C-alpha cells in the first residue's frame, strides 16, 4: 500500500494544493462581495454560477482531455484557473465575477477529471478503495485548510487573490514532472437522463438535496459569520470545523449504511440535519463555543451525497455506473445552482439565521421522503455494496464499482463474507 501511495504522490499533492486554493477562493468571494455591499441575493446568484460551470464541465471537459491528453489538459485548466483567480482582483463587478465563476467551475471539473481518471485507472483494484479514501481525506483537508488563508492578508485587498492564483499554478508542478504513465484517453459515455433517473430516482433526489444544502452553506455561511459579529479568524474556524467534521462523519454513517437499509440511514441523516439546523438557528447566538459545537454536528450534511451514491450503486449494473455517477453530480449541480439563490431569499426575509431555516427544511423533506420510500425503493441489506465515501468532484472517480473491488480484495486477503 505504501508503494501505491508513493506512485500516486504527485496526484495526491496536486489534489491537496488545488482544494486549498478552492476552499480559500470560495469563502473569500462571499466575504468580499458582502463587504463591498452586495445583497445576499446577488451574492447567492453569483456564487451559484460556479455550479453552472461544473455542470457544463461534465459534458465539455471530457472531449478536451480525450483530444490533447491528460497532462496537457491539466496544464490548460490550471493555467486558466490561475488567470481567473487574478481577474477577480483586477475588476470587481457582480456580472464579471459571475462569468468568472462559470469558467472556474468548468476548469475545476476538468482538473478533477484528469486526477480522478488517473487514480481510477492505474491503481490496482485491491487498493483502489483505500486510495480513494485517502483522496477523500485530502479533499476535505484541503477545503478546510484553505479557510485559514483568509487570515493571511486583507480580504478586500489584491494580495489574497494572488495567493489563490499561486496555489492554482503550483498544482501544475507535481503533475508536470510526474514520471507515471498517464492513462488512456477518456471515452465520453452517452447519457439518457430519463433512463438514468428511472434507475435510481431517490439517489438523484438525495443528490439534488445535498446540492441545495452544501452550496448554500459554502456560499452564505461566511457572510452569516460576519453578520453575527465574528472576526475573519473566527469565520475561518467556523467554516473549517464544519468541513473537517464532515470528514469524520463519513465513517460512522458509512458503517450504518452498510448494515441497515440505505434509505433508512438517509432518512436519519436528513432528520439530523433538520434538528442541528434548528438548534443552530435558535441557540447560535448563545456564544461562540455553542455555535462551533453545533457547527461540528452540522458536518453531517456532507454524508448525504455519499449515501445517495451508494444507494444508487446497490440497484444498477456495472455498465451503468459511469453515466449514473455523472447524473448524480448533474443533479447535485442543479441543486447547488438553486440552493444559494433560494437560501439568500429566505435570509432577506428572516435574517441571517434564515440559512439554517432553509437547510432545516431541506433536511426535513429529505428525511421524510426517505422514510416514506425506505421499503419501496431499497433491496435487501445483504445485497448492498460496501460504502466508500467519495467526494462529489467529477464523475470519473465514481466509476468505481465497490462490488468488484471488494471481491478482489476479499479473495486476496482470505476474507470470508
**Would you say residue 183 has pLDDT above 70?**
no
pLDDT at position 414 is 44
Q: Dihedral of the CA atoms 114, 86, 9, 108 (nearest 10)?
A: -30
What's the rounded Cα separation, in Å, for the pair 98 and 283?
Answer: 34
pLDDT at position 319 is 62
pLDDT at position 26 is 94
Which residues, 6 or more positions from 265, have their beta carbon under 8 angstroms from its beta carbon? 253, 256, 257, 307
pLDDT band at 293 (very low <50, low <70, confident <90, very high): very high
Cell of 339: 440552493
For residue 25, which of 157, 160, 131 has the smallest C-alpha distance?
Answer: 160
Q: What is the pLDDT of residues 19-41, one digit of tens each?
A: 999 999 999 999 999 999 999 99
**Would you say residue 170 has pLDDT above 50?**
yes
Which residues, 6 or more positions from 110, have their beta carbon under 8 angstroms from its beta carbon? 57, 61, 64, 65, 73, 74, 76, 77
The angle, 0 to 180 degrees and rounded to 10, between the axes of the packed helices 9-35 and 94-122 is 160
Q: To the nearest whole percent, how much of the chain has pLDDT over 90?
A: 49
How confident is the model over 379-407, as a mean pLDDT? 52
**Average per-residue pLDDT in the chain?**
83
pLDDT at position 402 is 47
Which residues, 6 or more positions from 387, have their beta carbon under 8 angstroms from its beta carbon? 254, 255, 257, 258, 306, 307, 310, 402
How confident is the model over 318-335, as a mean pLDDT? 78
**Would you say residue 236 has pLDDT above 70?**
yes
pLDDT at position 4 is 62
pTM for this predicted structure: 0.85
Which of 121-125, 306-310, 369-373 shows the lowest per-residue confidence on average (mean pLDDT)?
Answer: 121-125
Contacts 24+ apart (CB under 8 A), 6-10: 7/122, 7/180, 8/118, 8/119, 8/122, 8/123, 8/131, 8/180, 9/174, 10/174, 10/175, 10/177, 10/178, 10/180
Note the Cα 22 to chain centre separation in Å.
11
- DSSP H helices, 69-158, are 70-90, 94-122, 125-146
Number of H helices and E strands in the chain, helices first, is 17, 0
What's the rounded Cα separation, in Å, for the pair 207 and 336?
Answer: 10
What's the rounded Cα separation, in Å, for the pair 372 and 383?
Answer: 21
How confident is the model over 68-81, as a mean pLDDT? 88
Q: Dihedral of the CA atoms 120, 121, 124, 126 (nearest 10)?
A: 40
How wide is the angle at C-alpha 303 spanned by C-alphas 251 and 285, nearest 5°? 105
What's the rounded Cα separation, in Å, for the pair 146 and 67?
Answer: 33
Compare 65 and 83 and report the one with higher pLDDT: 83
How confident is the model over 270-297, as a mean pLDDT? 94
**Would you say residue 42 has pLDDT above 80?**
yes
How confident is the model over 170-191, as a mean pLDDT? 70
**Would you say residue 409 has pLDDT above 50?**
no
324 within 8 A of 229, measured Cβ to Cβ? no
pLDDT band at 146 (very low <50, low <70, confident <90, very high): very high
pLDDT band at 412 (very low <50, low <70, confident <90, very high): very low
How confident is the model over 155-162, as a mean pLDDT? 92
**Would you say residue 417 has pLDDT above 60?**
no
- The DSSP output letter for 191 is -
**Would you say residue 124 has pLDDT above 90?**
no
List phi, psi (to 5°) of 392.
Answer: -90, 80
**Would you say residue 137 has pLDDT above 60?**
yes
How confident is the model over 46-74, as a mean pLDDT? 86
List phi, psi (to 5°) of 184.
Answer: -70, 155
CATH superfamily of domain region 2-178+192-412: MFS general substrate transporter like domains (1.20.1250.20)
| Domain map (residue ranges) of the chain | 2-178+192-412
**Would you say residue 154 has pLDDT above 70?**
yes
Amino acid at each position: 500500500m505504501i508503494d501505491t501511495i508513493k506512485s500516486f504522490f504527485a496526484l495526491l499533492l496536486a489534489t491537496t494544493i488545488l482544494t486549498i486554493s478552492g476552499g480559500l477562493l470560495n469563502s473569500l468571494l462571499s466575504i468580499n462581495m458582502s463587504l463591498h455591499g452586495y445583497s445576499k441575493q446577488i451574492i447567492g446568484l453569483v456564487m451559484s454560477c460556479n455550479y453552472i460551470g461544473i455542470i457544463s464541465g461534465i459534458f465539455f471537459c471530457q472531449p478536451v482531455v480525450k483530444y490533447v491528453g491528460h497532462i496537457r489538459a491539466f496544464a490548460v485548466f490550471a493555467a486558466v484557473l490561475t488567470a481567473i483567480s487574478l481577474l477577480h482582483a483586477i475588476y470587481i463587478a457582480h456580472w464579471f465575477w459571475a462569468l468568472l465563476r462559470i469558467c472556474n467551475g468548468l476548469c475545476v471539473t476538468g482538473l478533477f477529471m484528469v486526477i480522478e481518471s488517473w487514480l481510477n485507472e492505474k491503481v490496482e483494484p485491491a487498493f483502489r478503495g483505500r486510495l480513494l479514501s485517502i483522496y477523500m481525506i485530502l479533499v476535505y483537508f484541503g477545503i478546510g485548510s484553505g479557510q485559514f488563508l483568509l487570515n493571511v492578508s486583507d480580504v478586500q485587498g489584491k494580495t489574497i487573490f494572488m495567493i489563490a492564483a499561486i496555489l492554482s499554478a503550483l498544482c501544475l508542478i507535481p503533475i508536470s514532472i510526474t514520471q507515471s504513465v498517464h492513462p488512456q484517453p477518456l471515452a465520453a459515455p452517452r447519457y439518457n437522463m430519463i433512463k438514468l433517473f428511472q434507475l435510481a430516482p431517490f439517489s438523484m433526489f438525495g443528490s439534488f438535496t445535498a446540492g441545495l444544502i452544501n452550496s448554500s452553506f459554502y456560499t452564505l455561511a461566511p457572510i452569516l459569520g460576519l453578520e453575527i459579529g465574528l472576526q475573519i479568524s473566527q469565520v475561518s474556524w467556523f467554516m473549517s470545523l464544519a468541513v473537517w467534521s464532515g470528514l469524520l462523519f463519513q465513517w460512522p454513517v458509512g458503517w450504518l449504511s452498510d448494515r441497515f437499509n440505505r434509505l433508512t440511514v438517509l432518512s436519519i441523516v436528513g432528520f439530523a440535519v433538520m434538528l442541528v439546523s434548528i438548534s443552530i438557528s435558535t441557540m447560535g447566538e448563545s456564544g461562540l463555543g455553542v455555535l462551533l459545537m453545533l457547527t461540528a454536528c452540522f458536518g453531517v450534511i456532507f454524508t448525504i451525497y455519499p449515501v445517495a451514491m451508494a444507494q444508487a450503486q446497490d440497484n444498477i449494473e456495472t455498465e451503468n455506473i459511469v453515466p449514473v455517477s455523472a447524473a448524480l453530480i448533474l443533479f447535485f449541480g442543479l441543486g447547488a445552482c438553486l440552493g444559494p439563490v433560494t437560501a439568500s431569499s429566505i435570509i432577506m426575509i428572516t435574517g441571517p439565521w434564515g440559512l439554517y431555516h432553509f437547510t432545516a427544511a431541506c433536511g426535513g423533506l429529505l428525511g421524510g421522503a426517505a422514510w416514506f420510500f425506505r421499503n419501496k425503493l431499497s433491496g435487501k441489506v445483504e445485497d448492498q455494496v460496501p460504502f466508500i465515501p467519495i467526494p462529489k468532484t467529477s464523475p470519473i472517480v465514481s466509476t468505481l464499482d465497490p462490488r468488484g473491488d471488494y471481491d478482489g480484495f476479499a479473495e486476496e486477503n482470505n476474507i470470508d463474507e
